[in-house]
Amino acid sequence: MRFIVYGAGAIGGVLGARLAGAGKDVVLIARGAHLEAIRRDGLTVEAPSGRTVHPIKAAAHPAEIEWTQGDVALLAMKGMDTEAALRELAAVAPPETPIVCVQNGVANERAALRMFANVYGVCVMFPATHLEPGVVQAQSEPITGLLDLGRYPEGVDDTAEAIAAALRDATFESVPRPDIMRWKYTKLLMNLGNSIDALCGRDEDRSDVLARIREEGEAALAAAGITFTPWETDRERRGDLLQVKPINGQQRSGGSSWQSLARGTGSIEADYLNGEIVLLGRLHGVETPVNELARRLANQAARAGTPPGSFTPDRILELVH
């Protein structure tokens, strides 16, 4: 089994490095200065226990890879980039290739199923950071992350079991789950705060705006008839498995959306997080004004190059109509 990690940023980069470190065959697909640095110097992983460098094969495009029947594609890009990546994969990868969505949000799996028959969802609990070319950070040790997975839309098969076993070999917790989307919808509710994390930073008291966002999210899911794993069950699953520690004396600065603003990428994932709740609300008659405002402000900040922490939670609530 060879793992093709498409999107070698924070999640994909650490995931690929951990798999390679466990003796798995890995190819990364990256771009720009990050790809150049990986090809030139290897992929550097910074962790609380120190720094390692991994000489991993890296490609700029799926067409550069000679695909075989034993390949597994791990998607690790953000939701707004998924459909373009799938089109590129569909042009070169065998149609039976397992597509594993190691991504936040709940729209990636459906998009993949349009083009590939074997699609797997992963519930991603994985503190990682990517802010400079050729370098990714894994903030949790000894367990790097929780990556439970299952077939989409439901079920577990031999491929899911084999992928989970490989992930466990590579310092991850991974449980095959037939109802993986229930877990992913709980994670979606958690990720609704990503835009607030990016807009406001972590020094402000965000409890009021986060409560509003999640209340809207739960109401939209209920109206749509979508079930999610209860919060208590999710907390029990996570327990204290993730031990986030300083790297180079510094605490983790922010999550994936915060990193998008900090790196000035020009885009952010809010349409596939808050926007998912806005979509469900519009389809099922539920008002979601805080999620819509968070989605819109996050996109505006990304397009304008606004740095993270430029808003306050109170200001966001003042702007809600």
Quote the Cα angle for 78-103-217, to 5°: 90
Q: pTM for this structure?
A: 0.95
> Backbone phi, then psi, for 116, in 5-degree steps?
-135, 145
Choose the final residue of a domain: 127, 155, 178: 178
User: Are residues 72 and 167 part of one domain?
Assistant: yes
Shortest CA distance to 34 belongs to which of 25, 22, 44, 24? Answer: 44
Q: Which pLDDT score is estimated for 321?
A: 67
User: Are residues 195 and 89 part of one domain?
Assistant: no
Shortest CA distance to 13 belongs to which of 110, 144, 166? Answer: 144
Q: Which pLDDT score is estimated for 181?
A: 98
CATH of the domain at 314: 1.10.1040.10
Rounded Cα–Cα distance for residues 109 and 119 (Å): 7
Q: Which pLDDT score is estimated for 18?
A: 98
Mean pLDDT by 10 residues, the chain (321 residues): 96 98 97 96 96 96 96 96 97 97 98 98 96 95 97 98 98 98 98 94 82 97 98 94 91 87 92 98 98 96 93 88 67
Q: Which pLDDT score is estimated for 108?
A: 98
User: Are residues 150 and 85 part of one domain?
Assistant: yes
Peptide bond into 313 cis (omega under 30): no
User: Are residues 196 and 173 part of one domain?
Assistant: no
User: Are residues 48 and 31 part of one domain?
Assistant: yes
Choose the final residue of a domain: 133, 163, 178: 178
User: Are residues 166 and 202 part of one domain?
Assistant: no
Coil, strand or helix: which one is 40? Answer: helix
How many structural domains are present in the chain? 2
User: Are residues 202 and 108 part of one domain?
Assistant: no
**Distance between the two ends of the chain, CA-based, in angstroms?**
52
Pairing of strands 128-132, 119-125: unpaired
User: Are residues 188 and 172 part of one domain?
Assistant: no
Q: Which pLDDT score is estimated for 214?
A: 96
Give the list of residues 6+ apart from residue 232 with CB closer than 8 angstroms, or none.
none
Per the document, the length of the chain is 321
User: Are residues 117 and 18 part of one domain?
Assistant: yes
User: Are residues 64 and 86 part of one domain?
Assistant: yes
Q: Which pLDDT score is estimated for 314?
A: 86
CATH of the domain at 160: 3.40.50.720
Choose the final residue of a domain: 155, 178, 201: 178
> Backbone phi, then psi, for 46, in 5-degree steps?
-100, 135
> What is the number of other CB atoms lying within 10 angstroms of the CB of residue 142?
10
* Tokens at 51, concatenated: 């720094």
User: Are residues 214 and 102 part of one domain?
Assistant: no
User: Are residues 145 and 90 part of one domain?
Assistant: yes
* Structural domain containing residue 68: 2-178
Helix/strand/coil percentages in the chain, nearest 5: 45, 20, 35
